[in-house]
Structure 1
Amino acid sequence: MLEIFLNCDLGEWETREQTAALMTHLDMANIACGGHAGDLQSIKDCAELAEAKKPIAVSTGAHPGIDSDDHGRSLPYDFSTESFRLLLEIQIQRFISAADLNHIKLHGALYHLVEADEDYRKAYLDFVRSHCLISIVCLAGGKVAIEAEKRNLPILPEIFLDRHYASDGSLLPRTHRNAMIHSASEVLERLELLTEKHCIMAYDGTMIELPAHYECLTACVHSDSPSSLEILKAAKVYLDKVEE
């Protein structure tokens, strides 16, 4: 049986009340650590809410991002691998001064950068190996996952519950008019296909098969999705029933 952990990107632009509400349905919290969003206090606040969840605390991890006018979804033209390493070092150090570091998941443009560019992917994996040997949350079936496994680095393959996929397994860009999923019923259809057939349906109907050796996945809902709370509630109920 495929085990699925729910995760959410938090400490970004949501209120503390929304953070607390989302946290009640999560297994993992990816907490912004001062790049695209967040600061030392917001990390502490999220970590406190994660610890307070009973009977099992939510696992906390760093969500490094880059400061940009579009909330970390684009990169400056002069962004180098050295700039990337420095960004990671600063944000990870900030994070561990305020919360327990159990995993790492890049935000926005950085998440896509390491999938697309071999040099940045190598810099990222080198950093994790040398600075914080923790689970890497990365695109299921993607290049980071494949390379990390070759290096015997721990990964948590990730799928997205509130985003549509292209036929090649990448996410539809946010500029696409149908990039986001707002319907809880559509999310449940995705989870059912995932748990029963180990695959995801792309927006055009293409079936994307996930690597057969995956025994667990993490499924993401973004805190800034309009239906984030509704989607997480429905997903949690479904997964709890599957596990019974």
Structure 2
Amino acid sequence: MNRASIDLNADLGEGFGRWQLTDDEQLLSVVTSANVACGFHAGDAVTMRKVCELAAAREVRIGAQVSYRDLAGFGRRSMDVPPDELAAEVAYQIGALEVFARAAGSRVAYVKPHGALYNRVVHDEAQAAAVVEGIRLTGERLPVLGLPGSALHAVAEKERLPVVAEAFADRAYTAEGTLVPRGEEDAVLSDPAAVVERSVSVARFGVVTSRCGRSVGVRARSLCLHGDTPGAVELAREVRGRLEHAGVRVEAFV
């Protein structure tokens, strides 16, 4: 029997100027993949460069976390962006991060949408196709990290881009296997014990318990740990420790 393995990813570089949201340096000692903000929902040139350097030094994979252009709303407000414009902006964000990744001796290894864009491309084929087109504009066949069964993954597979399914350690799920919108009550799990239990359940059994109590299958290769929650670093360390104690190999998916 093959030993279970899982990638741990976190959203990093979510600062701007003097303002910093995530403890990038400490989280990079725990996770295996870093979703780096590319300047549209958070992040600036100095922050992107620093995170890439830290990630490369720790052999953590660098991913472009692309977003709607929404600094004021942290990328969590849904927007109706024309497909051609969205494709160009996705390519722009990936290209900006690639400069700093290569300067650090690494590369952009995958792409993950952020916030409202992430939720939108679960069902919206036109917006999903625009994201995939943006990736294709870079000339690289970058893996797409996202929700299993999403429109984004369907379009990416059609365009022969690798897809990587992810689950969330600290987000509530619907009975259909999608994320409960952040604006709804109890959309984010706040109990550290529940987050740790969820993480082990995903890695070992591919199952989460939905908000209504139903077991939902989520066959994920990567597990997202949010870096902007209170006690994020300590929780991430506990999750990784429990996974390894349970016999799960923690390693990057690329």
Structure 1 length-normalised TM: 0.88
Distance 1:89-1:196 versus aligned 2 partners, 3 A rule: closer
Secondary structure (helix, strand or coil) at the match of 1:208 reads strand
| Paired residues of 2:38 and 2:65 also in contact (CA < 8 A) | yes
Q: Distance in 2 between matches of 1:16 and 1:37?
A: 9
Amino acid at match of 2:236: L
1:82-118 per-residue CA deviation (whole Å, 9 max, x = no partner) reads 1201211221121111112111111111111221211
Q: State the partner residue of 1:39.
A: 44
Q: Distance in 1 between matches of 2:137 and 2:89?
A: 15
Q: Distance in 1 between matches of 2:98 and 2:120?
A: 24
Greater displacement, 133-142 / 14-23: 14-23
Gaps of at least 5 residues in structure 2 are 102-106, 250-254
Q: State the partner residue of 1:168.
A: 176
- The answer to whether structure 1 residue 183 and structure 2 residue 191 are counterparts is yes
Q: State the partner residue of 2:228.
A: 224
Distance 1:222-1:195 versus aligned 2 partners, 3 A rule: closer
Note the C-alpha offset of 1:16: 8.6
- Which aligned pairs between 1:228-239 and structure 2 lie closer than 5 A? 228-239=232-243
Amino acid at match of 1:226: P
Note the C-alpha offset of 1:75: 3.2
Secondary structure (helix, strand or coil) at the match of 2:221 reads strand
Q: Distance in 1 between matches of 2:231 and 2:149?
A: 26
Q: Distance in 1 between matches of 2:190 and 2:230?
A: 7
Q: Distance in 2 between matches of 1:175 and 1:17?
A: 21
Note the C-alpha offset of 1:52: 2.4
Q: State the partner residue of 1:63.
A: 65
Aligned length: 236
Amino acid at match of 1:90: Y
Gaps of at least 5 residues in structure 1 are none
- The answer to whether structure 1 residue 80 and structure 2 residue 82 are counterparts is yes
Note the C-alpha offset of 1:232: 0.7
Q: Distance in 1 between matches of 2:244 and 2:187?
A: 27
Q: Distance in 1 between matches of 2:9 and 2:62?
A: 10
Secondary structure (helix, strand or coil) at the match of 2:78 reads coil
Greater displacement, 21-30 / 120-129: 120-129
- Which aligned pairs between 1:98-117 and structure 2 lie closer than 5 A? 98-99=100-101, 100-117=107-124
Q: State the partner residue of 1:19.
A: 24
Q: Distance in 1 between matches of 2:207 and 2:151?
A: 17
Q: State the partner residue of 2:252.
A: none
1:32-64 per-residue CA deviation (whole Å, 9 max, x = no partner) reads 0110111221111001111222xxx11111111
Structure 2 length-normalised TM: 0.85
Q: Distance in 2 between matches of 1:138 and 1:26?
A: 17
Q: Percent identity?
A: 28
| Paired residues of 1:183 and 1:227 also in contact (CA < 8 A) | no
Runs of 4+ more than 4 Å apart: none
| Paired residues of 1:62 and 1:92 also in contact (CA < 8 A) | yes
Q: State the partner residue of 2:104.
A: none
Distance 1:119-1:76 versus aligned 2 partners, 3 A rule: closer
Note the C-alpha offset of 1:17: 8.0
| Paired residues of 1:2 and 1:217 also in contact (CA < 8 A) | no
Secondary structure (helix, strand or coil) at the match of 2:108 reads coil
Query: Quick one: which of 216, 223, 242 aligns to 1:208?
Result: 216
Q: Distance in 2 between matches of 1:166 and 1:16?
A: 28
